[in-house]
Structure 1
Amino acid sequence: MNNIYQLDVSKVPKELIFLLDVIKMETATDITEKYKKSLDQMDWDHFHKLILHHRLYPLLYSKIKLLEKSKVPTKVLNSISHYYQKNTFQMLHLCGQMEYVSKLFISNGISPLFLKGPVLATELYGDISLRTSGDLDVLIPIGELDRAEQLLIEEGYIKDEYIQSVLNDWKWRHHHFTYFHPKKGIKLEIHWRLNPAPTKEPSFKELWDRKRVSTITKYTVYILGSEDLFLFLVTHGARHGWSRLRWLFDIHMLVQKDLHWPRLRSLLQKYKATHIAGQALILSSNLSKTKITKEMKPFIKSTRSQLLGQQAIFYIERMINLHTNPVPQDISKYHSRHLFSLMSIQQKFMFILSTLHPYYMDKETLPLPKKLHFLYFPLRPFLLIWRRGGRQV
């Protein structure tokens, strides 16, 4: 690997390096020779936590069986086998519901694009058992949200009303609603955007025009075009700090597909995401040993991409979980800065401008009738000062 692309991973736990090496190994000899003197010093409890955190047990399952049983504790091997089998049943369950939801939406005039879940596992790994997924993500036009919600509720889904909004800021501050089916145990996220604002992204019509058909089910299931999928996966992974390496292995697998690199480069430039693609490729080449081809080199030349790549190592060193509240304050501050550093100049300007728009907490601080909500604009600075002073209305 060229030194230009190397990141400082000296503080990444040895257990995680071992985990990545096992997934990437060609033969068991490669691992036993490299680790013959250090396996006894391995913290297997931490190794187990890393497997679960990064959701890598499906990929690890087929490889770790090649190692001698004496090298890895039996309880670790049994746990990997358990989670692999549990995930396989989960993915089959999700696959059946995905086909059902696709038929439900299409037959009622709703255009669904499935983003992840079983279609992504099949698309990238060729087997639904080789990737984990806890829910289904479906992108539809924003104008079809009400109809989709009505259909889901009729089917027994319950909406998670966690989004609090004022003056319709949900349309750009958020990007999906969550629904849960208590009997089926299925969580469904209905997206109207790929990512929340101020991310710039293709319109639904553009994505729909470039869609592909998945072959995983009998009934038609639509997925993103290859280049749109790359754009979505790198922006999604970056937004989460690449804190789970499952997302990075997605990139590793996707770049080995038949991507149209000139078209992809144009797409990334248009939506101000070239540096984010560079970050993903640098991380993938360092941690997943992704081969950097001549088509990829233009993305990883910038110093900005390399700095962003190093910033993401922070999450990996510490096994950071951004999905369980409360997130520690120091981690939250670091993540906020990292998100800001991912933005283009235009996006940073729009983000700063968006802070002038009222937040739901303004409504909680000073409840006003809906017809007077426009007053939150001039009142926002005073309400902010009021909250920081620790006072309550």
Structure 2
Amino acid sequence: MNTGLSPEITVLLMGCLVDLSTDKQTQINQYIQQQLIDWKRLDTLADRHRLKPFLYRTLLKIPNAPTAFVESLKQDCRITATDNLLKLQHYKEVSALLTEHAIEHIPLKGVYLAEHAYPDSSLRISGDIDLLVGKDDVFRTIRLLQNHAYHLSKKQDLHWQQGEQTILSDLYEVSLFKPFFNDSHFDIDLHWKIMGFNQHYALFDLPYVRSQPEFSTELMIVLLVTHHGVNNVWQQIYYINDLYFSLKGKDINWNWLLQELGRYGFEDVFLAGLYWCVQIWNLSLPATVQTLIGSSKIHSIAEDYAQSWESDKANEFSDLILLQLTRLAKAQTKPGRRLKTYGTFLSSRVFRYSLFRVGPRLIYLPKEVGFLTIFIRATQSLFRFLPARSTN
């Protein structure tokens, strides 16, 4: 695989396999033999990109892979498999609880994809349990979960004290946790809207997902591209795997999907993800879509996204915000859409609530005074941004 990326990232990409053919085994074995692999860095990157299960299953059959490294992966994968099973079982219990109380909901991302998209659920490392509910069921769901030993975080408990209307006005999700064993806990991210880029750019909710049952698969792809591609700039390789397994073997209405993503200016973000699905997984696409991802513009956008794969840590805070802006702006073909990208970015930084820490206390300021707090938030962002930059 000629990617122009480091040997460690290249090994990770080559290791994204379900079935290892003899030819592929020979190719990987020769590559490892010819390249100077930093195995410690490979372990760090495999962890960051949530690819240890794939890497272990692949390297297990590669003679030139260091035995100690493969054994370490084996131990990590055992822990991951157990964790996945616990989270899957817990999700089913939570889903049954919500169904029992007539709360319509749909699962998103990790746990759902592990069970329904991946060929083996142990291949998809899951984090939080993400659920989407209707706006009218938000507080009923929160109270129900609180009655079953879930707690809001300190920051969101502060929002809770401001009242229901403040939560609906300020937030689009809340995080709850349930202590499990020692310091471990189950986490639920409860969404009632999915934000695309920022709250003034695009918002998706349960009625949107349920609006056209004949395009239910395509609508879930829109949400996945929004979260993985737009909001998180494809910065982890498992995001690409999620896209691949969500598409593989599905009867996709490509014209409708591209048109729907185009409504929000997300089409090229999606095509960049597809580019890497082809590079990594050799995803079969219709000729018209294959032509689209073959353009020099999509190649350039896809390579921009891949630049962040080399970092030992995922981008966050100001770094991530800046990448969201630059990547989405570059993906726009219409001047009006690019103007909206910059315009909503600015407005979303001003008209929003703020939380400030004063000693041990958190202070809440409503978005109505956004103009007064923007300078403080800008200073906070600057202090987060500069140290990240200085280490590069």
Bin for the TM-score computed over the shorter chain: 0.7 to 0.9
Equivalent pair of 2:87/2:186 in contact (CA under 8 Å): yes
**74-83 or 338-347, larger mean C-alpha shift:** 338-347
Pick the aligned partner of 2:55 from 28, 52, 60: 60
Between 250-259 and 333-342, report the one with greater CA deviation.
Answer: 333-342
* Structure 2 residue 263 is matched with structure 1 residue 261: no
Shift in Å, 1:73: 1.6
Inter-partner Cα distance in structure 1 for 2:204 and 2:243: 20
Residue equivalent to 1:229: 220
Could you tell me how far apart the structure 2 residues matched to 1:92 and 1:65 are?
Answer: 23
CA deviation after TM superposition for structure 1 residue 342, in Å: 5.5
Residue 131 of structure 2 aligns to a residue whose secondary structure is strand
Counterpart AA for 2:178: H
Q: Distance in 2 between matches of 1:88 and 1:381?
A: 44
Please name the residue that 2:209 is paired with.
207
Task: Report the counterpart of residue 180 of structure 1 in structure 2.
Answer: 177
Task: Please say if 1:348 is aligned against 2:350.
Answer: no
Tell me: CA distance 1:375–1:281, structure 2 relative to 1, closer, same or farther (3 Å): closer
Gaps of 5+ in 2: 384-392
Deviation at 1:127, TM superposition (A): 2.4
Equivalent residue of 1:322, what SS?
coil
Task: Give the 3 Å change call, closer, same or farther, for CA 261–179 of structure 1 in structure 2.
Answer: same
Structure-2 change in CA distance of 1:98 and 1:315 (3 Å): same
Q: Give the C-alpha shift of residue 33 in structure 1.
A: 4.7
Where in structure 1 are there 5+ consecutive unaligned residues? 2-7, 213-223
Give the number of the structure with larger relative contact order, counting CA–CA contacts within 8 Å between residues 6 or more apart.
1
- The aligned amino acid for 2:234 is W
Does residue 1:138 correspond to 2:131, yes or no? Answer: yes
Deviation of 1:115 after TM superposition, in Å, equals 0.6
Q: Which amino acid aligns with 1:192?
A: W
In the alignment, the residues of structure 2 paired with residue 330 and residue 144 of structure 1 have an alpha-carbon distance, to the nearest angstrom, of 34
CA shift, 1:385, in A, is: 9.6
C-alpha contact (below 8 Å) 1:113/1:208 kept by paired residues: no
Provide the aligned C-alpha RMSD in A: 3.8
Letter in 2 for 1:244: Q
Out of 100, 112, 119, the residue aligned to residue 112 of structure 2 is 119
Query: Under a length normalisation based on structure 2, what TM-score does the superposition of the two structures give?
Result: 0.78
Please identify which structure carries the higher strand content.
2
Residue 249 (1) aligns with residue 241 (2)? yes
Superposed, 1:1-393 pairs within 5 Å as 9-10=3-4, 12-24=5-17, 26-33=20-27, 35-36=29-30, 38-39=32-33, 41-68=36-63, 71-163=64-156, 171=168, 174-183=171-180, 185-195=185-195, 196-210=198-212, 225-238=216-229, 239-258=231-250, 259-297=252-290, 299-300=292-293, 305-322=298-315, 333-334=322-323, 336-338=325-327, 341=330, 344-345=337-338, 346-360=340-354, 376=369, 379=372
Q: Distance in 2 between matches of 1:298 and 1:267?
A: 19
CA gap of 1:155–1:124, structure 2 versus 1, over 3 A, is same
Distance 2:376 2:189 in 1: 33
> 1:287/1:320 Cα in 2 relative to 1: closer, same or farther (>3 Å)?
farther
Distance of aligned partners of 1:348 and 1:363 in 2 relative to their CA distance in 1, 3 Å threshold? farther
d(CA) in 1 for partners of 2:321 and 2:350?
21
| CA positional deviation for 1:300 | 2.8
35 and 107 in structure 1: CA distance in 2 versus 1, 3 angstrom threshold: closer
- How far off its partner does 1:333 sit? 4.3
> Over residues 293-330 of structure 1, what are the superposed CA-to-partner deviations in whole Å (9 max), with x where a residue is unaligned?
3252365366654443222122013244135xxx6x76
Question: Hey, what does 2:389 align to over in structure 1?
Answer: none
Q: Compared with structure 1, are the counterparts of its residues 76 and 363 closer, same or farther at alpha carbon in structure 2 (3 Å cutoff)?
A: closer
Quick one: distance in 2 between partners of 1:48 and 1:161? Answer: 33
Are the counterparts in 2 of residues 122 and 128 from structure 1 also a CA contact under 8 Å? Answer: yes
Quick check: 144-153 or 122-131, which moved more?
122-131
Distance 1:362 1:54, change over 3 A: closer
Percentage identity across paired residues of the two chains: 19
| Separation (CA, whole Å) in 2 of partners of 1:386 and 1:32 | 53
Cα distance in 1 between the residues matched to 2:378 and 2:276: 41
Normalising by structure 1, we get a TM-score of 0.78
Give the Cα–Cα distance (whole angstroms) in 2 for the partners of residues 353 and 333 of structure 1: 15
Q: 2 CA distance for matches of 1:385 and 1:112?
A: 36
Q: What is the rounded CA distance, in whole Å, between the counterparts of 1:22 and 1:111 in structure 2? A: 38
Deviations 1:244-297 (A, max 9, x none): 101101122222222222332232233332122112112322344334432523
C-alpha contact (below 8 Å) 1:140/1:192 kept by paired residues: yes
Q: Displacement, 1:99?
A: 1.4
Looking at secondary structure, tell me which structure has more helix per residue. 2
Deviates more, 1:39-48 or 1:376-385: 376-385
Q: Secondary structure at the match of 1:133?
A: coil
CA distance, structure 2, for counterparts of residue 186 and residue 374 of structure 1 = 31
Judge conservation of contact 2:54–2:123 (CA < 8 Å) in 1: yes
Deviation, structure 1 residue 96:
1.4
